[in-house]
Every structure is written in structure tokens, then in C-alpha cells.
């Protein structure tokens, strides 16, 4: 019954209420093919050449062979491309000019479903609603109502409380993920919805159901524009308008149903062109299109909808529906949930710290000061702890890079400010994630090794390891914010870590080091950490070696370590300053990260 009602509706092509009309004229888009390390200006590659057209209420499909420019046109229309590359052209919505700073009621669903895997479908939708619906217009109850409406409209009731899924957690199906991604955007009630290849990676049945869903949405005040690859006939017949592209140009725009007739009609001309007239520069298909009645029709419609620009539109600054503090609260809440539900970051982290604490304790177990090797063993234990804190961050880089994809998507879709994400990452993730397990590690090591029995020294020991860990993780965060791939980030982080270790004072005698390399000790997290731990432990202690007695201070003097009160605290200050500098640099990188597609 329901299916036949739907098919009647499809055939009638009726709209409960039509969405807006989008027109675009003379759009040219090029990219600069500059080589990575070259200072020369690169060659320009033209991806779209003078394309004009119209996207009317309903289903607008962008079709064409791979590399024909479908995604590029979609991105330009949705203002997702870097304006620097747009060489000419304008886009209008219902006759009004729009640019990236306009508050156009549009939304963009990316090809890869970028969702928080540890959260359920409902929690993801609530996250979108809490950030993107202003509190003034929607109170908590109304936001919940909106989430319920979207769940209902997209048929997500059965999986609403199921988690999306991660590499460790089996989650919802591919079709449900796509529906959820669409839902994240429908929360803001956009009248214009862009989708980049919504059926890619889905089986035939799921692809069909997603396209029918879009069809139903398009009948109710929404204009849907999407790129698509090789649709089946059952999907093809849902298209109200078809835009066919080839080599960055439009070769047909009109009703989907009439495309076949058009190409049958021009087929002989194509053969003639290819065999006889191939010397002409003009793309033959574009040429035929420009001579066709479809082109005339589009031109006529463009004239009707397109209003010439009489003044430059004012560039508005991006505004967010929720305040900074509210964003911080919502993003921080999600970070916390993700942290607690992610065994990779929480349970494994604590377990590893306990394991390394015990291992360190066992290796350097309770050696009294009276034994000749006591002092060297203490320094060895500190070196072990610092290596563990610094190199432990190599695995964090992979997580940071994965999260960056989510951040770029959400930030460019206007969920939150970079500063809200950054602060929530620092306060809810980096600091507790590092500091809490350190208490376990430090307590186990401290007592197993048998270090100084003094409360102040114990807390200074924890402080030093915490600051060392924070400085190292900030550097990892900065590198991850700067690199695009895990492989690049991993290589970039290993170099400073190894240099810092070599010039940390344990492996190379810093006093005998070549002068031109001596500056490296000033940026060594290892040196500051080791020096502080050594001063904290050795100062005021007496050690014995071969029946001779010597003071801890004597060893520190011999190593050139300043053991005055300031001598100790300057290491802590240096670690703290390094943390701040790396965090600041990471923030700048996140601000400038390329959010254009």
C-alpha cells in the first residue's frame, strides 16, 4: 500500500512545498599545481570552465565520468572550495547572491560519514542539535523534539540508541551511518542539501532506500543536489533534473527522462565530429549542447531567476548559534564520553602505566645508598621514566590525526569555534589523560625503587614527570596539527624526540659537546626532566662507593647541574613554557588548517 502510494507520488512529481532555486553562471575553477618544496608559482589546472546552470526544487543529479568535475562543481556551489581557485562566476539562491560568509540555509553531507564512533545515533544528533540550534529559538525540549523528528523522518528509530561503531566496536550498518550523516545536517532544517556521492560504498538495496529517502525529503521544501556514480534505473528515474559533465564542462542539463533521447539524437553527430572534425578545439559535446533546445531552456530560466548584481554584498563574519562557553561545555562533554568509552585511550592507558611502573620498580628495586651502584641506578630509573613518558606519545599521534578529520569537518560545517575544540581537548583529554595515570606510575615506581622518604620530594617527583609528559604530548599535538597523514606525523615527531634524548645529558656529556650543537640542550625535554628528578632525589643524600663517601651535591656539581632552589625550579619553568609554546603553536596550526576541500 505504502509503496504504491509513494510511487504514485513520484510519478505525479508533486511537491508538498518546493525548495529554493539555485542558479550559477560562468563558473571557472582552477587549482595551482605547485610542487611541495618549490618556490616557483605552479601551473594552473582548469577544473571547471565557464559552467552555467540551474538547480530547481527537487532532485538534482550531477553525473559524468570520473574526473569530469562533478564533486568540484558541487563544492563550488556549496562554497566549500577555496575562493582563491574560483576564477569567475557567481551563485544565486532564489535570485540572491550567496558567498561563503552568507547565512545560506544549506547543508553539505560529505562522502565519508564522519561521525563520533563511540556515541549512539541519538547522541550524535543531539550533539548537532545542541551546537547548531540557538538556545534562544529552541529550548531543551524543542531541541529534543527536533532530534526525534529527524530520527522519525530518516527511519532511524530502531538504531537510535546503538553506537555508530569504531575499529574496536561493531556499530550500525552502512545505510544507517549514511542516514545519520544526513540527519546531522537536517537538524538545522536546511532548504538546500548538497551530498557528495551519497550511494558510494552501499549495496544496491541500501543505495535505493537512501535515494528514496532523499526523494521524499526533496518533496518537502528542500532542494537536493548530489553527485552520483553509475545509478541504476530505479534511482535514475527519481531525478528531476540531470546535469551531465565532461572534462569540466556541462554537456547536458535537463529532465533525466529526456537525456537518453538527446544523446541518441546527437550520436551520429558525435561520430561525424570524432572522425571528421577532430581538429576543432571546442569540446564537441559542449558544442552540441549549446546548440540544443535544452541549452536555450536553461538560458531562458537563468534569465528569469538570475538578477544582475548591483552592489557588492557585505562580507559578514561567521557567527555561531551557541556561545563559546556553551560550545566548550558540549564539545567537552562529548570528549569526556569518548574518552571513557574508548578502551584504547582510557583502560589501556592506565594498564600500561601500571605495567611500566612495576617494570621500572622491578629493574631498579630497593638499592640502598650504601651500595656502589645506587646512584647510577637512580639516574637509570629516572631515564627509564622519562623515555616512557616521551615516547609513549608516538601512539597518541595516530589518534590526534584521526580526530583532526572530525574536527575539520565539524569546524567547517559551523558546529563550533576552533578555540572551543582546542580548550576542550586540552582540559578534558590531554591533561587528565596524562596526569591521572602518572599518579599510579609514579607512586608504584617511587616506593618500589625506594626513593627519598619525604612527602615534598614525592610530590615534586610527580610534578616533574607530569610536566615532562605534558611538554612531550604538546609537541605531539603540535606535530599532528601540522601534518596531514599519520606517516608524516610519525616521522616528524620521532626526530625531535630522538634529538632531545641524545642531548638530554644522559647519553652525551653536555660539557664535552661540540659548541655548535650545545644549543640543543636548551630545548631538550629530557634534560629538564632528568635534571629536576636528579636534584630532587640526590640533594642532601649521602652515597657510598668503594668505602668512600660522597654527597649527592658532589655528583650534581660534577654533571654541571645547578642544584640551588632556582636551579631546580628553572627546569619546571622550562617544561611548563615548552608546553605553553607547543600548545600555542598547535592552536595556530588548527586555526590555519586548510578547511577548504
Ligand X SMILES: Nc1ncnc2c1ncn2[C@@H]1O[C@H](COP(=O)(O)OP(=O)(O)OP(=O)(O)O)[C@@H](O)[C@H]1O
The residues binding ligand X (CB under 6 A) are 31, 45, 47, 64, 66-72, 227, 229
* Shortest distance in whole angstroms from residue 41 CB to ligand X: 15
For 212-325, strand residue ranges (E) read: 223-227, 241-246, 249-254
d(CA 113, CA 137): 28
* Shortest distance in whole angstroms from residue 23 CB to ligand X: 20
C-alpha cell recorded at residue 245:
559533465
Q: Is 588 exposed, middle or buried (0-12, 13-18, 19+ CB in 10 A)?
A: middle
* Shortest distance in whole angstroms from residue 350 CB to ligand X: 43
Contact 34, 220 (CB under 8 A): no
Distances (CA, A) of 443 to 251, 361, 377, 462, 471: 71, 10, 18, 8, 21
Q: Looking at beta carbons only, is 14 or 43 nearer to ligand X?
A: 43
Closest CA to 172 of 235, 125, 230: 125
* Shortest distance in whole angstroms from residue 406 CB to ligand X: 22
Q: Looking at beta carbons only, is 68 or 474 nearer to ligand X?
A: 68
* Shortest distance in whole angstroms from residue 149 CB to ligand X: 32
> Hey, is 53 helix, strand or coil?
strand
d(CA 515, CA 545): 33
Strands 58-63 and 106-109: unpaired
> Hey, is 65 helix, strand or coil?
coil
C-alpha cell recorded at residue 165:
561503531
d(CA 399, CA 396): 5
Q: Looking at beta carbons only, is 180 or 244 nearer to ligand X?
A: 244
Contact 56, 114 (CB under 8 A): no
* Shortest distance in whole angstroms from residue 280 CB to ligand X: 22
d(CA 71, CA 518): 52
Inter-axis angle of helices 486-502 and 525-538, nearest 10: 40
Residue with cell 622518604: 453
* Shortest distance in whole angstroms from residue 198 CB to ligand X: 13
* Shortest distance in whole angstroms from residue 502 CB to ligand X: 39
Q: Supply φ then ψ for residue 320, to 5 degrees.
A: -115, 145
* Shortest distance in whole angstroms from residue 208 CB to ligand X: 20
Q: Looking at beta carbons only, is 76 or 172 nearer to ligand X?
A: 76
Contact 112, 178 (CB under 8 A): no
d(CA 215, CA 59): 7
d(CA 355, CA 349): 10
* Shortest distance in whole angstroms from residue 384 CB to ligand X: 46
d(CA 582, CA 113): 31
* Shortest distance in whole angstroms from residue 593 CB to ligand X: 16
Amino acid at each position: 500500500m505504502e509503496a504504491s502510494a509513494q510511487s504514485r507520488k513520484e510519478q505525479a512529481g508533486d511537491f508538498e512545498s518546493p525548495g529554493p532555486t539555485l542558479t550559477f553562471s560562468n563558473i571557472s575553477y582552477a587549482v595551482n599545481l605547485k610542487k611541495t618544496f618549490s618556490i616557483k608559482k605552479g601551473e594552473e589546472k582548469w577544473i571547471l570552465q565557464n559552467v552555467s546552470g540551474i538547480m530547481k526544487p527537487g532532485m538534482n543529479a550531477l553525473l559524468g565520468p570520473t574526473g569530469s568535475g562533478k564533486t568540484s562543481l558541487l563544492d563550488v556551489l556549496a562554497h566549500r572550495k577555496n575562493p582563491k581557485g574560483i576564477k569567475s562566476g557567481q551563485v544565486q539562491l532564489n535570485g540572491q547572491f550567496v558567498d561563503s560568509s552568507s547565512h545560506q540555509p544549506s547543508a553539505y553531507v560529505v562522502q565519508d560519514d564522519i561521525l563520533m564512533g563511540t556515541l549512539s545515533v541519538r547522541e550524535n544528533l543531539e550533539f548537532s542539535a545542541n551546537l547548531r540550534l540557538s538556545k534562544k529559538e529552541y529550548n531543551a525540549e524543542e531541541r529534543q523534539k527536533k532530534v526525534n523528528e529527524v530520527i522519525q523522518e530518516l527511519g532511524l528509530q530502531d538504531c537510535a540508541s546503538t553506537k555508530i561503531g569504531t575499529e574496536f566496536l561493531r556499530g550500525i550498518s552502512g545505510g544507517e551511518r549514511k542516514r545519520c550523516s544526513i540527519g546531522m545536517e537536517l537538524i538545522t532544517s536546511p532548504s538546500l542539501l548538497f551530498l557528495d556521492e551519497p550511494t558510494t560504498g552501499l549495496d544496491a538495496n541500501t543505495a535505493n532506500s537512501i535515494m528514496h529517502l532523499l526523494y521524499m525529503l526533496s518533496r518537502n521544501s528542500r532542494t537536493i543536489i548530489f553527485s552520483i556514480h553509475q545509478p541504476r534505473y530505479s534511482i535514475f528515474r527519481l531525478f528531476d533534473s540531470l546535469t551531465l559533465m565532461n572534462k569540466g564542462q556541462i554537456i547536458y542539463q535537463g529532465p533525466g527522462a529526456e537525456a537518453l533521447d538527446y544523446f541518441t539524437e546527437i550520436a551520429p553527430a558525435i561520430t561525424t565530429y570524432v572522425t571528421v572534425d577532430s581538429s576543432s578545439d571546442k569540446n564537441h559535446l559542449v558544442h552540441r549542447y549549446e546548440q540544443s533546445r535544452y541549452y536555450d531552456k536553461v538560458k531562458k530560466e537563468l534569465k528569469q531567476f538570475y538578477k544582475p548584481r548591483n552592489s557588492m554584498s557585505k562580507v559578514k563574519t561567521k557567527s555561531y548559534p551557541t556561545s563559546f562557553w556553551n560550545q566548550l561545555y558540549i564539545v567537552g562533554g562529548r570528549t569526556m564520553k569518548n574518552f571513557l568509552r574508548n578502551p584504547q585511550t582510557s583502560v589501556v592507558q592506565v594498564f600500561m602505566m601500571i605495567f611500566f611502573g612495576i617494570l621500572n620498580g622491578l629493574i631498579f628495586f630497593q638499592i640502598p645508598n650504601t651500595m656502589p651502584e645506587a646512584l647510577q641506578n637512580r639516574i637509570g630509573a629516572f631515564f627509564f621514566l622519562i623515555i616512557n613518558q616521551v615516547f609513549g606519545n608516538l601512539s597518541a599521534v595516530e589518534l590526534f590525526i584521526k580526530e583532526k578529520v572530525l574536527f575539520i569537518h565539524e569546524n567547517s560545517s559551523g558546529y563550533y569555534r576552533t578555540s572551543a575544540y582546542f580548550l576542550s581537548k586540552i582540559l578534558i583529554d590531554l591533561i587528565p589523560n596524562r596526569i591521572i595515570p602518572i599518579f599510579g606510575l609514579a607512586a608504584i615506581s617511587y616506593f618500589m625503587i625506594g626513593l627519598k622518604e619525604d612527602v615534598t620530594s614525592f610530590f615534586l617527583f610527580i610534578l616533574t614527570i607530569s610536566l615532562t609528559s605534558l611538554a612531550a604530548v604538546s609537541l605531539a599535538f603540535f606535530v599532528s596539527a601540522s601534518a596531514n597523514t599519520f606517516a608524516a606525523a610519525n616521522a616528524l615527531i620521532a626526530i625531535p624526540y630522538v634529538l632531545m634524548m641524545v642531548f638530554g645529558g644522559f647519553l652525551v656529556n653536555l660539557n664535552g659537546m661540540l659548541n655548535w650543537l650545545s644549543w640543543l640542550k636548551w630545548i631538550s625535554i629530557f634534560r629538564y626532566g632528568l635534571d629536576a628528578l636528579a636534584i630532587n632525589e640526590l640533594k642532601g643524600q649521602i652515597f657510598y662507593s668503594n668505602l668512600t663517601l660522597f654527597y649527592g651535591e658532589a655528583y650534581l656539581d660534577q654533571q654541571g647541574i645547578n642544584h640551588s632552589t632556582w636551579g631546580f625550579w628553572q627546569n619546571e619553568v622550562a617544561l611548563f613554557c615548552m608546553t605553553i609554546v607547543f600548545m600555542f603553536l598547535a592552536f595556530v596550526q588548527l586555526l590555519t588548517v586548510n578547511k577548504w576541500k
